Amino acid sequence: MESKVTARIMTAARIALGNGNKYMCTNRGSVMKDQVHIRNAEAAHLARTLAQQTGKTISDVVLEALRQYRPRRRVPAPRRRIEHWRRLLDEDRREQAKSETSIEALYDETTGLPA
């Protein structure tokens, strides 16, 4: 009897892996796709603790947390702020262009040594 179950599990595994599934979990002959493993000790501890406190399974706790999580959207900078920074950059570039000194100005004309 056990060898028939094992044979069924192995057949299901071959079918699942042949269909391009990356992960496989066998459970009495059935195959589940994409099993997730929590490898971070703190995350696993928090999930276990929350599951115990709420009476839910770890899967339910993780699923609920993922559904609630929404990354914050990047708010575009206001147009006035962008214009302000562009003006500052332009002014800085103009000042740099004005204050450029030639290499000859750094040396004394008579001695040739740095001034």
Q: Is residue 112 part of a domain?
A: no
- 5 and 28 part of one domain: yes
pLDDT at residue 23 in the model? 45
User: Which of 25, 49, 64 is the last residue in one of the domains?
Assistant: 64
Reported pTM: 0.37
Cβ distance 29 to 15 under 8 Å? no
Q: Is residue 12 part of a domain?
A: yes
**Structural domains of the chain, count:** 2
Q: Is residue 115 part of a domain?
A: no
Q: Is residue 95 part of a domain?
A: no
pLDDT at residue 15 in the model? 53
Q: Is residue 103 part of a domain?
A: no
Tell me the residue range of the domain where 52 lies: 38-64
Provide the phi-psi class of 28: left if phi over 0, else alpha when psi is between -120 and 50, else beta: left
Question: pLDDT (tens digit, 9 = 90+) per residue, 26-44?
Answer: 455 555 667 788 899 999 9
Question: Between 16 and 60, where is the model more confident?
Answer: 60
Question: pLDDT (tens digit, 9 = 90+) per residue, 48-90?
Answer: 999 999 999 999 999 999 888 888 788 888 888 899 999 999 9
> For residue 92, which phi and psi values (nearest 5 degrees)?
-65, -40
Question: Between 54 and 3, where is the model more confident?
Answer: 54
- 27 and 49 part of one domain: no
- 10 and 28 part of one domain: yes
pLDDT at residue 24 in the model? 46
- 20 and 6 part of one domain: yes
Q: Is residue 98 part of a domain?
A: no
Q: Is residue 3 part of a domain?
A: yes
